[in-house]
Structure formats: structure tokens, C-alpha cells
Amino acid sequence: MLKLSLEAIQIIDAIARHGSFSAAAEELHKVPSTISYSVAKLEEQLGMQLFDRLGQGVALTRVGEELLNEGRWLVQAAGDLESRLRRVASGFEAELRLVHDAMIPGAALIPDIAAFEALQCGTRLRLASETMTGSWEALKDGRADLVIAAGEGPSGGGYQAIPVGTLEFAFCVAPTHPLAALPQPLSSEALRLSTAIVIADSARSLPSRTIGLLSGQARLTVADIRTKIALQVAGLGHGFLPRALVARELAEGTLIELAVAEAKPLETFWLAWRPGEQGAALQWWRERLNRPLLPALLQPA
């Protein structure tokens, strides 16, 4: 059995701050003899001296200082735990896992995160990102409580979803790319003969998606949209890009938009969660994010 209790640490802390047993007793609403006995008993059980007795006062020994340095953290952690449990009992979850499509930078959610933290509700927030079908899969597999996901959800249901915006895509290449010299609109065969830059879907078990890729086409697969944009600016391939993310490149001419025979339709983004979940933190986030998120979250502040 542990010899050191949180109450003992609180007693040691009070003595160290006031420099005497009597002053500590007054703060803790105990008689001085109780404080003196508690310290003597603890020193005996530990086999260590925690205080040097200095006439009318006391001072921590090196052992006592080390105990208090770590002990104060334990008392604080215990207090935080009690507070968190009270909040959980009031309806707030211990943790909320929010997964957003990797196209959305996590920093775009800072105002929402700041508003949630200001609630001081005790719910730990865990953010992660997945690509394309990966966000839906995280919800389906129970790795997320709430997702901002691109495209239609998986068949079979098991989730509730509301649309939170759409993205328009432009077919882009560098001005030096060979496709830029061809007549427009570009045919599927012309695209097939050139390398496409595609983003890998992070789904592990659900069928993965590819955007704008033709059968048998040479491809260069990357992990994220920023790398895809950079490679297309470098003239290493072509592909559809969210217009909201490449507005500067199109304005500066480092990318140009080409007309293609088969344009990509608007991509809808969804806020989704599992039905039946009633936690207060989830409800707060559902209400907070029930707004036109895209393309707003991709545009500079």
C-alpha cells in the first residue's frame, strides 16, 4: 500500500509555504498537533526526513523539496480529474475526436477550437485528418465522433450527415506543360497520354477514390493537396485542383486553366456523425460547424 497520500502532500505543501506547522494547521483547519503527528508518521513510514526543524520554524530537506515538486503536480492532476469527472457527469464527453478532410488545413479551425476551449467543459479534443474516403472510414470504424468529409458517404448508412459546402475544381497545368499547346477542350485521349498527379486515398478498408484519373493513365501519386499543387506548378503533371486553393497561382500565371471535354462536377462536403450519439460536446460541434465551411475554410483570412 502506498504510504504517500494526496492529503499528506497538501499538508507538506502548506507547511513549506508558511514555514511552520501552526500556520499550516490554521490554513487547513486542523490543530497543530495533528499536523506535527502527520508529518512525523509520514517520515517514519518513508524512512526519510522531509523537514529540518529550525527552532520556531521548519524548512524542507532536499528529499522534501523533491517530494513537493512532484507532489504538487499530483495534487493538481487529481483536482483536474475530479473537475473533469464532474463535467462528464453533466453530459460532456471525456474526449471528442474530430476528423477533417486533409484538404482543409487544421489551422482553419482555430476560431472554432478557441471557442470550444473557452467553454472549459473538460472534454479533451483530438483532431486528425484523412484523405477522401478515409474520413468516412474513420467514422464508420469508430475512430472519429464527427467528420468533415468529401464526397458521398459509404453505402449501407450508419451515419447522419448534412452538407456544409461545395468546391469547384479547375483543370490546371503549368504554362510550359505540353498540354497547354493543344487545342481545347482537351480530349480524354490527350489526357491519357500525359502524367496525372493524384492524391492517395487514406481509406484502409473502404473502396478508395481517385479524382480525374483515366484507365491506363500514367500517374504520380502524392499524399496531400499541397504537394499536388507544387508538382503541377513544376510542370510534372496535370489534374483537377480546387479553385479556392489555386487562385493565387492562376492569377500569377504559374498555373493555367484548360478546358477539358469531361469537366469535374462540384464536390460536396459533409458534416457527419453516428446516429444516437447525444454527448454535449458533439452537439456543440455539430451546431458550430453547421454552416458553409467550404470553400470558406480554404480561403486566406
Report CA dihedral (19, 20, 22, 26) to the nearest 10 degrees.
20
pLDDT above 70: residue 83: no
Label the pairing between strands 160-167 and 267-273. antiparallel
d(CA 142, CA 204): 13
The string of DSSP letters for 208-220 reads P--SS--TT--EE
State the span(s) of the chain assigned CATH 1.10.10.10: 6-89
d(CA 132, CA 103): 9
- The mean pLDDT of 187-205, rounded to a whole number, is 89
102-133 tens-digit pLDDT: 999 999 999 999 999 999 888 899 999 999 99
Within 10 A of 246 (CB to CB), how many other CB atoms are there?
Answer: 20
d(CA 43, CA 24): 17
**Residue 211 contacts residue 199 (beta carbons within 8 Å):** yes
d(CA 39, CA 44): 9
pLDDT above 70: residue 1: no
Backbone angles phi, psi at 208, to 5 degrees: -80, 160
d(CA 150, CA 137): 12
Q: Amino acid letter at 242?
A: P
- CA 189 from centre of chain: 42
The string of DSSP letters for 82-97 reads HHHHHHHHTT--SEEE
Of the options 1.10.10.10, 1.10.3720.10, 1.10.8.60, 3.40.50.300, the CATH number for the domain spanning 6-89: 1.10.10.10
d(CA 84, CA 120): 10
- pTM score of the predicted model: 0.72
Q: Which of 240, 212, 218 is nearest to 232 (CA)?
A: 240
Q: Tell me: domain 169-265, CATH 3.40.190.290, correct?
A: yes
Q: Which of 67, 53, 65, 61 is nearest to 21 (CA)?
A: 53
pLDDT above 80: residue 206: no
Cell 500514367, residue located:
218
Q: Amino acid letter at 163?
A: P
For the sheet with 95-101, list strands across it.
124-130, 95-101, 146-150, 267-273, 160-167
State the span(s) of the chain assigned CATH 3.40.190.10: 95-166+268-298
Is 199 in a helix, a strand, or coil?
strand
Backbone angles phi, psi at 258, to 5 degrees: -115, 145
14-43 tens-digit pLDDT: 888 888 888 888 888 888 888 888 888 888
Stronger pLDDT, 157 or 259, i.e. the higher one: 259
- The mean pLDDT of 57-77, rounded to a whole number, is 87
Q: What is the pLDDT of residue 73?
A: 86
d(CA 28, CA 123): 31
pLDDT above 90: residue 261: yes
State the span(s) of the chain assigned CATH 3.40.190.290: 169-265
Stronger pLDDT, 176 or 3, i.e. the higher one: 176
d(CA 194, CA 196): 6
May I ask the CATH class of domain 95-166+268-298? alpha beta
**Residue 170 contacts residue 264 (beta carbons within 8 Å):** no
